[in-house]
Amino acid sequence: MRWATAGPALSAVRHGGRLVGLCGRAAMPAIWGYLLLEILIGTQGVAAAWLTKAVIDGLIGRVRFADVLWPVAVLSLLGLVRGVAPLIRRYLVAEIDRRAALTAQDGLFKAIERFVGLERLEDPAFLDRLRLAQQSVFAPGGFLEGAFGILRGTLSLVGFIGSLALISPMVTGIVVIAAVPGFVAEFRVSRRRHKMFMDIGPAQRRELFYANLLTDAQAAKEIRLFRLGPFLRGRMIAERRAANAAKRRLDRRELGTQTVLVLLSILASSAGLLWMVVAAGRGQLTIGDVSVFIAAVAGTQSGLTDLIVSTTVAYQQALMFEHYEAVLRATPPAVPASAVRPVPALRDGIRLRDVWFRYSDDHDWVLRGVDLFIPAGATIALIGANGAGKSTLVKLLCRFYEPTRGAILWDGTDIRRLPHEELRDRMGAVFQDFMAYDFSAADNIAVGELSALDDEVRLREAAELAGIHDAISALPRGYRTLLTRMFFAGPGPVGSDVGVILSGGQWQRIALARAYLRQDCDVMILDEPSSGLDADTEHDLHTRLRNIRSGRTSILISHRLGAVRDADLIFVLHDGVIAEQGTHAQLLALDGDYARMFSLQAAGYQSEHHTGERVG
Ligand X SMILES: Nc1ncnc2c1ncn2[C@@H]1O[C@H](COP(=O)(O)OP(=O)(O)OP(=O)(O)O)[C@@H](O)[C@H]1O
Task: Name 97's Cβ contacts closer than 8 Å, sequence gap at least 6.
Answer: 138, 140, 141, 142, 145
Name, in order, each residue with C-beta under 8 angstroms of 294's C-beta and a sequence gap of 6 or more: 273, 276
We find the least distance from the C-beta atom of residue 118 to ligand X, in angstroms, to be 7
Q: Which of 106, 113, 122, 534 binds ligand X (CB under 6 A)?
A: 122
Does 529 bind ligand X (CB under 6 A)? Our answer is: no
Q: Which is nearer to ligand X, 235 or 565 (CB)?
A: 565
Indicate whether 356 belongs to the interface with ligand X (CB under 6 A): no
Total residues contacting ligand X by CB under 6 A comes to 13
Stretch that binds ligand X, among 312-320, 380-388, 415-423, 477-485 (CB under 6 A): 380-388
Phi, psi of 213 (to 5 degrees): -60, -40
Binding to ligand X, residues 559-578 (CB under 6 A): none
Beta pairing class for 569-574 and 553-557: unpaired
Q: Does 359 bind ligand X (CB under 6 A)?
A: yes
CB of 571 to ligand X, least distance (A): 12
For residue 556, which of 523, 589, 587, 604 has the smallest C-alpha distance? 523
Q: Taking CB under 6 A as the rule, does residue 388 contact ligand X?
A: yes
x/- site string to ligand X, residues 313 to 352, per CB under 6 A?
A: ----------------------------------------
392 contacts ligand X (rule: CB under 6 A) = yes
Q: Which is nearer to ligand X, 112 or 151 (CB)?
A: 112
Instruction: Output 130 or 366, the one with its CB closest to ligand X.
Output: 366
CB of 396 to ligand X, least distance (A): 10
Write out the H or E segment, with its range, that includes residue 355.
Answer: strand 349-357
Q: Which residues contact 138 (CB under 8 A, 6 or more apart)?
A: 97, 101, 104
530 binding ligand X? (CB under 6 A)? no
Integer Cα distance of 401 and 116 in angstroms: 8
Contact between 384 and ligand X per CB under 6 A:
yes
Stretch that binds ligand X, among 43-51, 259-267, 370-378, 390-398 (CB under 6 A): 390-398
Q: Interaction with ligand X in 432-461: which residues (CB under 6 A)? A: 432
Considering the complex, what minimum distance in angstroms separates the CB of residue 599 from ligand X?
20
Q: DSSP secondary structure string, 266-290? A: HHHHHHHHHHHHHHHHTT-S-HHHH
* Residue 488 lies near ligand X (rule: CB under 6 A): no
To the nearest whole angstrom, how small is the minimum distance from the Cβ of residue 586 to ligand X? Answer: 22
With CB under 6 A as the contact rule, which of the stretches 209-217, 382-390, 511-519, 578-586 interacts with ligand X? 382-390
With 0-12 CB in 10 A as exposed, 13-18 as middle and 19+ as buried, what is 495?
exposed
Binding window for ligand X (CB under 6 A); candidates: 75-83, 93-101, 381-389, 437-445: 381-389
Question: Using CA atoms, how far apart are residues 108 and 113, in angstroms rounded to an integer?
Answer: 9
**Rule CB under 6 A: is residue 430 a binding residue for ligand X?**
no
| Cα gap 491→498, rounded to integer Å | 11
- Beta sheet of 427-430, edge-to-edge order: 427-430, 523-527, 553-557, 379-384, 569-574, 577-582
For residue 434, give the 3-state DSSP assignment. Answer: coil
Distance of CA 324 to the CA centre of its chain: 10
Stretch that binds ligand X, among 183-191, 274-282, 383-391, 588-596 (CB under 6 A): 383-391
Pick 522 or 527: Cβ nearer ligand X: 527
Q: What are the residue ranges of helices labelled H in 484-534?
A: 504-516
Q: Are 319 and 139 in contact (CB under 8 A)?
A: no
Residues that bind ligand X (CB under 6 A): 122, 359, 363, 366, 384, 386-392, 432
